[in-house]
Structures are given as structure tokens and as C-alpha cells.
Amino acid sequence: MCAETTYDHFCMGRSLLDSGNPAQAAVRLERARAAAPNKASVREALGRAYFALGRWEEAEVEFRAVVAIAPTDDYAHYCLSRILRRRGLLSEAQAHQRLARALGSPLIPEL
């Protein structure tokens, strides 16, 4: 039997996330992150899984990593703004929300 690759973990994690299984997705995506910590796509998917599970601090870590890796990722700024808002950090949330809008997401609502 062949060992699963980072890409296998990522694809299965995304599939599990898309089918409404964020806890199982997080397990797979954590494995992918361990192997590829600088892949924004892996960190974003893991952030989405944590967000769906209500694990705000862990989701924040993942979306901060995405913003560090890909500073022009409007979706990452948007997700980070939502997490910060839930955590009561409104000033910082608004800053990321404005960045998301400026970077190309005109459909993002005002906080």
C-alpha cells in the first residue's frame, strides 16, 4: 500500500469540508499543513475547517498565515475579519475587511 501524499490529504480534506465534515477535514488538512506549512491553499482550507468548528483562535492562526504568505488574498483578509469580529476585535476586523474590499471583493459587506 502506498503512503498518502500531501496532495492526497489536501484533496480529501477539501472534499470532507465541502461535504459538511469539518472535524474529519481538519485531521486531513492538519497532516497536509505539517508537510507543507507554506501552502496558502492548505492553510486556507484548514482555517475554514476550524471556523466551521467554532475554533476561532486556531482559525485566526491559519488565516493570519495565509495573509502572511499571500498578502493580496482578499478572501483570507475577509475570513480573518470575520474571525476577529467574532472575537470582539472590531478595529482590527474592520481593517482586514477594508483590505479585502480594496483587494477586489466588492461584495463584502460593511462590518
CATH of the domain at 51: 1.25.40.10
What confidence tens digit (pLDDT) does each residue in 29-47 have? Answer: 999 999 999 999 999 999 9
Residue 76 has pLDDT above 90, yes or no: yes
Amino acid at 72: T
Domain extent for 33: 6-102
Q: Residue 108 domain-assigned?
A: no
pLDDT for residue 109? 62
Q: Higher model confidence: residue 68 or residue 108?
A: 68
Residue 2 has pLDDT above 90, yes or no: no
- Residue 19 in grid coordinates: 461535504
* Cβ pair 89, 60 in contact under 8 A: no
**Closest by Cα among 71, 74, 78 to 104:** 74
* Angle between helical axes of 22-35 and 6-18 (0-180°, round to 10): 160
